[in-house]
Amino acid sequence: MIRVDNVRFGYGNAALVLDGVSLSVAPGEMVALVGPSGCGKSTLLRLVAGLEVPSAGSVTRGEGAETGFVFQSPALLPWKKVRANVALPLELAGKPDTAAVQACLDAAGIGDLGDRYPASLSGGQAMRVSIARALVTAPDILLFDEPFAALDEIIRFHLNDLILGLKVSRKFASLFVTHSLYEAAYLADRILVMGKGRFLGQVVPGIDPALGPKDRRAAPELAAAVSAMQGWLEEAVA
Ligand SMILES: Nc1ncnc2c1ncn2[C@@H]1O[C@H](COP(=O)(O)OP(=O)(O)OP(=O)(O)O)[C@@H](O)[C@H]1O
């Protein structure tokens, strides 16, 4: 669904931010990107979204693939009710669909908040609205850029489980940028560890998908995946 082939990219005449990066994401697969601040994770997402163009190499998405974005800031329009915020991508595409909006509110666990204004929501609820808005066009690809970094840990755990459920029910392919090695191990099928402008290595947690949240968080595979990521990152700074 996503293929990045030997991409090089720099902003303007500045030094290269990405220097020969390749990755692929299969339909329904979630790949996490972790790495130190400034290594180029967000830039890579922008290239995959088509917001930037590589100076060498190529980025391809599945033919006709619909792409959605979830950022750290929910960026809701304060003068519109929750329902209207979620409906916005469909309105902009000229394809209003009230049932799809309600289905996405339900899927995000906020089926009863459609008539509220953003100012009345908690941070976790606002993020759920942002997720519902990203789902409303039934995307084949979802790009997450540190979506839960500003939220407290318990809310973050709930949202992690929401994403795991949606990944199965909505079947999108996704790239998930996070600073949390633990979150990456909990969510992703595969984790790509980045150093400055390039990949250092890959970690496959292999946690049994049948495990419930409590057992998943306690799984030895999760701890092993975090430790493997730490290994790659420490080697890079050594
Ligand atoms: N619009 C821009 N113009 C010029 N340089 C930029 C721009 N955006 C990012 N950069 C630079 O590109 C490099 C990579 O930035 P990027 O935001 O992709 O890193 P990141 O890994 O996502 O960082 P963080 O984890 O802190 O969000 C940094 O040196 C940054 O200063």
User: Minimum mean pLDDT among 74-78, 202-206, 234-238: which range?
Assistant: 234-238
Asked whether residue 89 falls in the same domain as residue 197, the answer is: no
Whole-angstrom Cα distance, residue 238 to residue 37? 17
Give domain status of residue 40, yes or no.
yes
In contact, 101 and 90? CB cutoff 8 Å: yes
The verdict on ipTM greater than 0.90 is yes
Whole-angstrom Cα distance, residue 134 to residue 131? 5
Whole-angstrom Cα distance, residue 187 to residue 30? 8
Asked if residue 89 has pLDDT above 80, the reply is yes
Asked whether residue 22 falls in the same domain as residue 133, the answer is: no
Asked whether residue 8 falls in the same domain as residue 59, the answer is: yes
CA of 40 to the centre of ligand 1 (A): 6
CATH number at residue 185: 3.40.50.300
In contact, 144 and 70? CB cutoff 8 Å: yes
Give domain status of residue 34, yes or no.
yes
Q: Residue 221: left (phi > 0), alpha (psi -120 to 50), or beta?
A: alpha
**Ligand 1: which atom is nearest the Cα of residue 44?**
18
Mean pLDDT, all residues of the chain: 95
Q: Give the model's confidence band at 235: pLDDT under 50 very low, under 70 low, under 90 confident, else very high.
A: confident
The model carries a pTM of: 0.95
Is the beta carbon of 42 within 6 A of some atom in ligand 1? Answer: yes
CA of 42 to the centre of ligand 1 (A): 7
Asked if residue 29 has pLDDT above 70, the reply is yes
Give domain status of residue 215, yes or no.
yes
Give domain status of residue 70, yes or no.
no
Asked whether residue 149 falls in the same domain as residue 200, the answer is: yes
Give domain status of residue 71, yes or no.
no
Asked whether residue 130 falls in the same domain as residue 148, the answer is: no
The last residue of a domain, from among 116, 139, 162: 139
Asked whether residue 57 falls in the same domain as residue 151, the answer is: yes
Asked if residue 65 has pLDDT above 70, the reply is yes
Is the beta carbon of 51 within 6 A of some atom in ligand 1? Answer: no
Tell me the three state secondary structure of residue 101: helix
Asked if residue 238 has pLDDT above 70, the reply is no
Asked whether residue 83 falls in the same domain as residue 123, the answer is: yes
Whole-angstrom Cα distance, residue 18 to residue 60? 17
The last residue of a domain, from among 121, 139, 157: 139
Strand bridging mode 16-25 / 2-10: antiparallel
Asked whether residue 6 falls in the same domain as residue 118, the answer is: no
Give domain status of residue 72, yes or no.
no
Q: List pLDDT tens digits, range 170-229.
A: 999 999 999 999 999 999 999 999 998 899 999 999 999 999 999 999 999 999 999 999
What domain range includes position 82?
Answer: 77-139
Is the beta carbon of 41 within 6 A of some atom in ligand 1? Answer: yes
Asked whether residue 55 falls in the same domain as residue 144, the answer is: yes
DSSP string, 159-208: HHHHHHHHHHHH--EEEEE-S-HHHHHHH-SEEEEEETTEEEEEE-----
Residue 62, both tokens:
């599945």
- pLDDT at res. 13: 85
Crossing angle for the helix pair 98-107 and 82-92, to the nearest 10 degrees: 130
* Residue in 71, 37, 57, 48 with CA at minimum distance from that of residue 194: 37
Asked if residue 137 has pLDDT above 70, the reply is yes
Residues contacting residue 16 through CB under 8 Å, at least 6 positions apart:
8, 9, 10, 197
The total number of structural domains in the chain stands at 2
Asked whether residue 47 falls in the same domain as residue 9, the answer is: yes
Is the beta carbon of 133 within 6 A of some atom in ligand 1? Answer: no
Asked whether residue 135 falls in the same domain as residue 148, the answer is: no
Residues contacting residue 159 through CB under 8 Å, at least 6 positions apart:
124, 127, 128, 131, 147, 148, 151
Atom 16 in ligand 1: which residue has the minimum CA distance? 40
